[in-house]
Every structure is written in structure tokens, then in C-alpha cells.
Amino acid sequence: MIVAQWFDKPMRIAQTVWRGLQYSLLSDDNKQCHPFVYCKEFILDVIWSTLNKRSIELYGFHYNPERGWKWSDPPASLNPVRMLLRNKDDADFPEHVPKCLKFLNKLEDEFGFPHSEIEICENATAIAGVESSFVYLLSSPDNWLHAPPLLSLLTLMVRIGMIYDGRKNIWKHAEDVAQGRIKPYQYRDNDHLHRAYKCIQNLIETKCERFPPDRKDNWPVLRGRMCHMEIHENGGIVSLASGAGRWVCPGWYPKLDEAMS
């Protein structure tokens, strides 16, 4: 596929990771929506912004999908979710990508989701300064957008899948990464997966019933608070597992709701 427009606006983004896999969302008309980011939580921010048609600005990152402002960015594709992937630090990246897709498709079978697809971006050399970098487009079903923790899980499992051998049971592979028996593809992925492991299993066993059925309830605009900051800090799969996700949506915790009623 051909990226019609690469993002070229400069940003000084504060991120906790500066090496490894990078993500960037793509619009329906093949325009890159924002710079490549290492921190996967910025992906949650952009989807929240697109769904709620509100601009965001945090940690030096800014995004505005609405036309008519002084600056505006292409709205992210929502069906399917279209995400660009690259890793300038991995010389074997093209070999890891098919492993990732196989892992994701098996995971999607567990959730009952349609399969994601991956294709190479043929004009990746158009990106200034990274002429030798391969870029791939991951197109995933919008089931992953039903709630922020699901999208967070997708971005985490993209990295977990990069080191999948293609033969092992995916949960045995995930457990080996979580327990440190396999070196993670990116810094702290073993810790993230270890902390979220039981929660992920619960989501599959319950068919994600803990999330309200209406997607808009899972990506709320909270009055009097920086909601996109809450999404960034507490909307991920690890936050869901720890209980911090209640600051985004108390409805994700049915037992807590019952206790408070």
C-alpha cells in the first residue's frame, strides 16, 4: 500500500521509551495522523480524540481531528483500525512482522474477533531521515476499539507477537514472556504482561462483558477533568487489571458498582 501523506509537523514529545517499536495511526484516505510514537498510550489518546471530536495536548503531543481550526489533523480510521508500525532499531523487523500477525490472529480467535491483516508500505523511503526503515500497516477490526484497555492490549500484543515462534500455544508464549523465560521485544513488556495476564484471561472467558455495550460509554468525556489525560494514564490494560481504570469508567468494575449501589 501507498501512504498518501506522511506526517511532517515537528513535535517534542516526552516519552518514557525511546527505542523499539513505534506506532502511528492512519486515516481512511491513507494519511498519517500524527508522528510515530514509542509510547502506545498516545494511540489511545488519538482514538479518544477522534471518537469525541475534541483536540488533545499532553506531554508535548497534540492532535486535533476537527476541521476549521488553526491546525487540524486527519481523523484516524475507526473501521478498521489502521496502524503504521516500524522499528528503526530492529534489522530483522521484516522477519518479525509475519510472526506478529500469526500471533495476533490466534489471539483474535480467542476473543472471537475477525482477523487483522498486515501489508508493507511501499513508499516508506519517503519518510525523511529513515530511508532504510521498513514500515508496515496493521489493519485490525474495530472490536479492538470497544474500550481503551482492548486497544491497549492490541498494541501490547503486537510487541509480544514479534517474538512468537509460530508453533507454541500463544498462552504458553505469553506466559514465557511474562515470567522472563523469553526476552521481551521491548523494555518492560514482560512486566506489563505479567501484571495484566489474569485480566486478559478474564476478558476472554467473559467475552468482554465487563465493558458497557455502548462504545461511547467506554470512551467518556469527563466533566471538570482532563479526560484524555485519564485515558492516557489509566485507560490501558495494566490499569484495568490494577483497578486504576475506575478513574476512566467505574462501569468496568461490576462488583465495585454492586458494592456502591
Residue range 121-158, pLDDT digits in tens: 998 865 645 545 799 999 999 999 999 999 999 999 99
Over residues 228-250, mean pLDDT? 93
User: What pLDDT score does 130 carry?
Assistant: 52
User: What pLDDT score does 204 carry?
Assistant: 97
At which residue does the C-alpha cell 471518537 appear? 51
Beta-bridged to residue 117, according to DSSP, are 139
User: What pLDDT score does 124 carry?
Assistant: 86
Per DSSP, helices labelled H in the chain are: 41-52, 93-111, 148-161, 170-178, 189-205, 215-218, 227-234, 237-242, 254-260
Answer yes or no: are the C-beta atoms of 35 and 7 closer than 8 Å. yes
User: What pLDDT score does 5 carry?
Assistant: 93
User: What pLDDT score does 126 carry?
Assistant: 56
Over residues 155-173, mean pLDDT? 97
| pLDDT > 70 in the chain, percent | 90
pLDDT of 256 > 50? The answer is no
Q: Which one has a higher pLDDT value, 133 or 109? A: 109
* CA atoms 176, 40, 125, 30: torsion sign: positive
Task: Please tell me the pTM assigned to this model.
Answer: 0.93
pLDDT band at 244 (very low <50, low <70, confident <90, very high): very high
Per-domain residue ranges for the chain? 22-260
pLDDT band at 174 (very low <50, low <70, confident <90, very high): very high
pLDDT of 25 > 80? The answer is yes
- Span of 68-72, 152-156, 191-195, 249-253 with lowest mean pLDDT: 68-72
Longest dimension (CA), the chain: 58
How many CB atoms are located within 10 Å of the residue 142 CB? 15
Answer yes or no: are the C-beta atoms of 38 and 63 closer than 8 Å. no
Per DSSP, helices labelled H in 185-226 are: 189-205, 215-218
Q: Coil, helix or strand for 66?
A: coil
Of 47, 211, 248, the closest CA to residue 142 belongs to 47
Question: Cell digits for 242?
Answer: 490494577
Radius of gyration of the chain (CA): 18
CA–CA dist 140, 135 (Å, integer): 16
